[in-house]
Structure 1
């Protein structure tokens, strides 16, 4: 067997290769108290318009305070990122911009994505396209362009949790919401088939219920949820983050990749340090070749970990 093939088999066995690909064997379902992303801090950007900002909920920032609470209850480390703040709680940074449409978020907020390098982007945008009746038939194309740009600016470890729109209690706007949601689902499923780091989030069916009345109402007005509705959104987002974890999209520095790399380093070092036994010239030559490859790969792993640590410190 060729020496390099032997090495590839070794790397596969230690998990160093499989850990970097989201289509590897899926994890079991997580319970609400289980840590997500292993030791990795969940660096989250909430991106969208007024619902993301938390309009109708001045103290809790909409769904964000409840989401952070739920994640921390599961012993997760959470850092919310963004260029503005809203809500009477610690992790209140956000990229929520009331009134903005899909195209405006694409135009104005990508610099923040590039600067903050979020690991997770909670994307809920398009309600203003529906309310303003903005070129509804092309909303899906705009949404797809936005997701692609987020992935490009965020970098290779960013995952987008792409949400359908919540209900609108205005009859005409609700019909447009449904049309946009159909396009969002189509666009996101296309990106998933292309192996992009995206998860589809069904906020329309699982989020705030527009039909509840009086003391059980989940809406502040025709467009925005109230505290009860925002809490429901937080639950849906938490489930989406768990789904991303199940698909191994949260693996990164401090998580599965680092652990696999450390394990591989130890095995490679042990093999490289083993003394030579008396072997035939042919076998001895092959062993020398394998050791050379191991030493080279060992150095690459070390260099990669150093680069990742530098990247983490920068961000």
Structure 2
């Protein structure tokens, strides 16, 4: 189960021991930020969270749990959000070890529990075995996308998610569990059901009355953040990594500048799947373009409004009329225009 980066120096190990004593005691402020207890000595959390450790400085074991989005479908690297998240944590002073029975992506630390096409029932059926084998200290749950795709009732999916959380808690009493509100499908029916499902998650987590279970909103990963109808592209995965990191940092004691916030970027490359016609037959092709956040005019209910939107420069045909020998003729030329995603979203 690979380890990101090099081994920590003795000084950093001492820092881990001090920081993780807070983790073990589970002492946080009302905002979730770690605070130091003065009444009892610090205990090394990496040794005490979950099962006993053979080494007090063994890295925190993090299990990414889910379907093809956790696996990394839609991104050429196959890393999903995993490597970007681990890089942010490392820059923030926390080194982790991803665990799970699956392995793909670039780099040495690419274990996970992402199973392409699996719905929440299939994941839950194997969960006990995965937890016993991997012994995670942290579980990142992004589950339910395929259940929504298959048309399952959002309320039923939420109940099954609740049962999955209970399974994790029973197997790993001290683990932190981060539960995602899922990324949004481009399919209208799935998006509608996904919004209902996501809306149920905060309440079911709150009812657990467990400070070690946190909700992470990934629903803003949508539209041109997706390579196809459901799977993020690299930029979408960078947003997922940011969202996970923001939720995990107060718990794990990560801090400092860890890289740019993707939500504040004005310019980025996105790769989207689009329909193309090849030899009279419909096919699909990945198109990578630079997108910029620009002010543009859109019509809403017959009224022109100025809005900020992601646009890309594209060569488009333009028709025009010219007079030739006294007659008007229609001709076509190619011009460069700022355009939206158009049929890139219709795959």
The reply to whether TM is greater than 0.5 is: yes
* 2:166 is equivalent to residue 159 of structure 1: no
Aligned-pair distance for 1:237?
0.6
* 2:93 is equivalent to residue 88 of structure 1: no
Structure 2 residue matching 1:204: 3-state secondary structure: coil
Deviations 1:254-293 (Å, cap 9, x if unpaired)? xxxxxxxxxxxxxxxxxxxxxxxxxxxxxxxxxxxxxxxx
Measure the CA separation in 1 of the matches of 2:177 and 2:32: 19
CA-based RMSD of the aligned residues comes to: 2.7
Determine which of 238, 242, 265 is the counterpart of 2:245.
Answer: 238
Aligned-pair distance for 1:68?
1.2
Which aligned pairs between 1:208-247 and structure 2 lie closer than 5 A? 208-210=221-223, 217-245=224-252
- Which residue is 2:219 aligned to? 204
Bigger drift between 118-127 and 73-82 goes to 73-82
- Which residue is 1:296 aligned to? none
Determine which of 27, 45, 48 is the counterpart of 2:66.
Answer: 48
TM-score (norm 2): 0.57
Determine which of 134, 140, 147 is the counterpart of 1:129.
Answer: 147
Aligned-pair distance for 1:240?
1.2
Higher percent of residues as strand: 2
Measure the CA separation in 2 of the matches of 1:160 and 1:180: 18
Tell me if the contact between 2:186 and 2:222 (Cα under 8 Å) persists in the aligned partners.
no
Determine which of 177, 182, 199 is the counterpart of 1:182.
Answer: 199
Which aligned pairs between 1:296-307 and structure 2 lie closer than 5 A? none
Tell me if the contact between 2:98 and 2:110 (Cα under 8 Å) persists in the aligned partners.
yes
Aligned-pair distance for 1:232?
0.6
Deviations 1:142-192 (Å, cap 9, x if unpaired)? 010000101111x2221100010111111111001011112222211211x
Tell me if the contact between 1:82 and 1:93 (Cα under 8 Å) persists in the aligned partners.
yes
Determine which of 145, 162, 176 is the counterpart of 2:163.
Answer: 145
Deviations 1:31-51 (Å, cap 9, x if unpaired)? xxxxxx796722100000010
Q: Residues 112 and 19 from structure 1, CA distance in 2 versus in 1: closer, same or farther, beyond 3 angstroms?
A: closer
TM-score (norm 1): 0.62
Tell me if the contact between 1:48 and 1:96 (Cα under 8 Å) persists in the aligned partners.
yes
Tell me if the contact between 1:80 and 1:94 (Cα under 8 Å) persists in the aligned partners.
yes
Deviations 1:283-312 (Å, cap 9, x if unpaired)? xxxxxxxxxxxxxxxxxxxxxxxxxxxxxx
Aligned-pair distance for 1:19?
6.4
Which residues of structure 2 form unaligned runs of 5+?
Answer: 1-20, 36-44, 47-56, 254-347
Aligned-pair distance for 1:20?
2.2
Tell me if the contact between 2:27 and 2:34 (Cα under 8 Å) persists in the aligned partners.
no
Equivalent pairs counted in the alignment come to: 215
Higher percent of residues as helix: 1
- Which residue is 1:61 aligned to? 79
Q: Residues 159 and 27 from structure 1, CA distance in 2 versus in 1: closer, same or farther, beyond 3 angstroms?
A: closer
Tell me if the contact between 1:59 and 1:89 (Cα under 8 Å) persists in the aligned partners.
no
Select the structure with the greater relative contact order (CA < 8 A; seq sep ≥ 6): 1
Aligned-pair distance for 1:53?
0.6
Tell me if the contact between 2:33 and 2:250 (Cα under 8 Å) persists in the aligned partners.
no
Aligned-pair distance for 1:82?
0.3
Tell me if the contact between 1:58 and 1:88 (Cα under 8 Å) persists in the aligned partners.
no
- Which residue is 2:25 aligned to? 20
